[in-house]
Structure 1
């Protein structure tokens, strides 16, 4: 709308200027102004068309996963929870797709505003790359193409990088290559020399016309031909180029229409002076907390959000009260004197920041407040200068673990937990398999270990069935694997598969 109004105003001004110039002879400075106005009009119209195309694409990208979420939620209601695990997985994947779309839009916003910050961590380089390829193998198999990882012999075990952003760059390039390749292969080739890592993604796909090789890096641009028929909003390569430049690298593309493309990214990834300390084993699930009973007040105008957080906190021993607006929140706070308030920023009719400020004035710094928002990181910059320095901000959607970490930090809680995930494989319940079958079982276990990394449960079940079919002596092992899989303890299953391979070696 704004673009159309701007274009209309430019038309009026240009028309009046043209009428005035008709009576003038020879060159006149106003002619240059007229040319500038015409250029501004064309730019405004182009921006308006790009916005319209972008909104149409984003609408499609949002509606597809929303339809899956809505549909499977209705099936759960109709079927009384039948096949609930599969429905939950579809809903979660769809929600993750929506989250990634929003994050992509925020990435563009942060890059343009200079607000994107990088981390620097020591990562296991070959393992990082292998896991990334494993994650995309199923996507390539569905299209019937090969996905290949080629690592140079001199690749270091550890490098310093921002794993989230490096993963984002490589996934964007690889998924694009898979999307536009119908036969042949997609290869990720990685070389490393003098702390310079070179990533080359080579495909045998449809290729890119020479005149489009720069346009593909422009936000919201979709090139013509077969590429225009593929789903997407035209953000992936724009974000990729921006991230590569922020990381101090460069990206290049070579392509031949009908023969494939080659994207090359070069980044400086230094090696740590000494191997990093291995992380501690993951703690068990939180079941409660030590000390007196704590009261939590939730203020949010989204009833589903209130119910979700309440169902998380009450089983842990918290007394939870909920309010859908600031007025009700103030009344409940005066009544129960909560230890912690979780307050949404965008309340209907009133800002969450105003509600938080009033709560602090009435109850003092002893009442801890955590602000929640779905508006993006910029919301955190509108902080209350009178609030305690240790009050904090959490962006939606959030992981339950992140919320519990924030609550523990605010209230100084010590969690009660179940036993942590065992680091070793459970003991085998069967005697060693005969040598003739041990190597075949090891082959199945190697595939199970790979499938565990991508969470492909049905394929894992098929491999376990393959082990059971080898010989009657393998039945106890297969049953133990099924029991571990049924509890969805994939780490224990992976460890068990490794143990079988070690026994067969």
Structure 2
């Protein structure tokens, strides 16, 4: 399967992400504020109460969306420290299990290595990969995380037995390019992952082989990591 991930981050797109995040945050703040005021004044049994509550939920979803846009725009300015890969993967899998306890996750391999990254960003990117696999995998199936180290780099690949990305999808990892619907389908999960990998001098890779979809990142070892 040919690699369909973008090679470089587009500075114009990053500026656009910063601007749209700022402007939409102002709009969502107004919606959230007034919906909260309305809910506090409406009786719980009012037919309008449910409508306003739905508006508030939509506003909260917009806030989450904007947080992801802002994170994408700030990928190049993340802090960098030595982060143990294996421990970070364990933390991400545990956090994902609390979020979606019905999805089995199996971790294969160890790297014994560190990468030079922002630990919070790293964990969130790993969780994004797990969420992406969960969205594609059939109910009850297992998502696998495969860790490997080769030379001066490590790879973290998340595999699922789902149908894979549609052939009509132009570029996997570009913002707003997605086959999903709704806020989780905004096309930002893999865009965040790609921006993170590129900022660290790594890469996002997507492959379909042996009946499974493999989405992973390759990252250079931390300069202070083990030899």
Give the TM-score, by structure 2 length: 0.64
Alignment pair present for 1:254 and 2:214: no
Q: Is the 8 A contact 2:115 2:221 kept in 1?
A: yes
- Structure 2 unaligned segments of length 5 or more: list them: 1-19, 45-55
Instruction: Judge conservation of contact 2:115–2:222 (CA < 8 Å) in 1.
Output: yes
Structure-2 change in CA distance of 1:230 and 1:206 (3 Å): farther
1:188 corresponds to which residue? 145
1:122 aligns with 2:85: no
The aligned runs of 1:273-288 (5 Å cut-off) are none
SS in 1 for 2:162: coil
* 1:219 equivalent among 155, 175, 178: 175
Alpha-carbon distance in structure 1 between the residues aligned to 2:165 and 2:225: 42
1:253/1:215 CA distance change after superposition, 3 Å? same
Q: Higher Cα Rg: structure 1 or 2?
A: 1
> Does the Cα contact within 8 Å between 1:219 and 1:238 map onto a contact in 2?
yes
Structural mapping, 1:84-483, within 5 Å: 99-110=63-74, 116-141=76-101, 144-152=102-110, 155-156=111-112, 158-183=114-139, 184-212=141-169, 214-223=170-179, 227-228=180-181, 231-255=184-208, 259-270=211-222, 272=224
8 A Cα contact 1:195 1:271, kept in partner:
no
Gaps of 5+ in 1: 1-54, 80-90, 275-505
Q: Which has the higher contact order (CA 8 A, sep 6+)?
A: 2
Q: CA deviation at 1:78?
A: 8.3
Q: Residue 250 and residue 273 in structure 1: after superposition, are their counterparts in 2 closer, same or farther (change >3 A)?
A: closer
Closer, same or farther in 2 for the Cα pair 1:207/1:172, shift >3 Å?
Answer: same
1:140·1:147 contact (CA, 8 Å) conserved in 2?
no
Check whether the contact 1:156–1:271 (CA below 8 A) recurs between aligned residues: no
CA–CA distance in structure 2, aligned partners of residues 136 and 211 of structure 1: 29
Q: CA deviation at 1:252?
A: 1.4
SS of the equivalent of 2:128 reads: helix
Report the CA distance between 1:196 and its aligned residue.
0.8
TM superposition shift of 1:130: 0.8
Q: 1:229, CA displacement in angstroms?
A: 7.3
Q: Distance in 2 between matches of 1:251 and 1:238?
A: 9
- Measured on the aligned residues, the alpha-carbon RMSD in Å equals 3.7
Per-residue deviation, residues 375-413 of structure 1 (Å, max 9, x unmatched): xxxxxxxxxxxxxxxxxxxxxxxxxxxxxxxxxxxxxxx
Contact 1:145–1:182, Cα closer than 8 Å, also in 2: no
Q: Aligned partners of 1:108, 1:122: CA distance in 2, in Å?
A: 21
* 1:188 Cα deviation from its structure 2 partner: 1.3
Q: CA deviation at 1:104?
A: 1.9
